[in-house]
Amino acid sequence: MEQEVLKRVQPVLLNMLKDIRRVCDENGIRYFLYRGTFLGAVRHKGFIPWDDDMDIAMLRQDYERFCRIAPEKLSSSYCFQNWHTDENYAHPFGKVRKRGTVYVEAKCCRLQENGFYIDIYPIDFAPETVEQQRMLNRKLLHLYRIKLMKCHYTPWKEEERTIWKKRIGYMLYQIAALFVSQAWLVEKYEQIVMSIPESSCVYEQSALPHVPFFKREWCENLAEYTFDDVAFLGPEDYDSFLSSLYGNYFELPPEDQRENRHQIIELSFGD
């Protein structure tokens, strides 16, 4: 994405985050800056210069409350989206979208809402042992990949080329998708997630191949951080949290890796 366009995208996202914060503050919902957005707050006091999205997270109980009230409480310019509001939405986390805009990624299908977005990750309890964590992740990843195929996503696309190893690997998931419904996949996925008893270990609900697991207390003990002169909540123990995600997080990546990763193929500010 060109820098001139990115400089227009970032303020739109920040205004969206301000409205999410308002809803959370007014309704006693705890949220925290997450992933690159939190890294940006700590390292840059704002956006990572090349970042084209924003992420926040909530413990499951807060996330479920947000899902219930967001459609009514968000400003009319925004809407909440997850796989219960749009069956062709494939992810186990939600998004707040800006109505009247377009922000389409190359790998995604067309949805009921396709505008600028902020990702909202639920944080769930995880098993305590590494082996149990891996087993849980494998189960969820299997269901998620079938859901991606059911929703006509193309994860093997990288810009204008096809990664054939990945394309062939997904053929089995395409076949599996023929024999199950959208509703069954969502129900099965959430059933597994909710079956894990309360513990001191948690993880993000993203179904990534290498999903991060971390201490529950990092998500419960929060502090305020300045992000472009606006205060938002983030994990109080920022060093432990960011080190677990990124290692040496103050070291900038090589210049050829300082780019956004979302492969936006269609963009409109709705002007």
pLDDT, one tens digit for every residue, the chain (271 residues):
788 899 999 999 999 999 999 999 999 999 999 999 999 999 999 999 999 999 999 999 999 999 999 999 999 999 999 999 999 999 999 999 999 999 988 777 778 888 999 999 999 999 999 999 999 999 999 999 999 999 999 989 877 788 999 999 999 999 999 999 999 999 999 999 999 999 999 999 998 888 999 999 999 999 999 999 899 999 999 999 999 999 999 998 887 777 766 678 789 998 7
Furthest-apart CA atoms within the chain: distance in Å: 51
CATH code for position 263? 3.30.460
Does residue 121 sit within a domain?
A: yes
Does residue 165 sit within a domain?
A: no
Does residue 182 sit within a domain?
A: no
Does residue 53 sit within a domain?
A: yes
Domain hosting residue 228, numbered range: 3-125+202-268
Kindly compute the dihedral angle of the four CA atoms of residues 139, 63, 154, 258, in this order, to the nearest 10 degrees: -110
Asked if 143 and 85 count as a contact pair (C-beta separation under 8 A), the reply is: no
Asked if 97 and 81 count as a contact pair (C-beta separation under 8 A), the reply is: yes
Does residue 213 sit within a domain?
A: yes
Does residue 189 sit within a domain?
A: no
- Judged by DSSP in three states, 1 sits in coil
- Judged by DSSP in three states, 74 sits in coil
Q: Where are the beta strands (DSSP E) in 163-255?
A: 201-204, 213-215, 222-227, 230-235
- Judged by DSSP in three states, 133 sits in helix
Does residue 183 sit within a domain?
A: no
Q: Residue 90 class from Cβ within 10 Å (0-12 exposed, 13-18 middle, 19+ buried)?
A: buried
- Domain count for the chain: 1
- The β-bridge partners of 202 are 125, 214
Does residue 254 sit within a domain?
A: yes
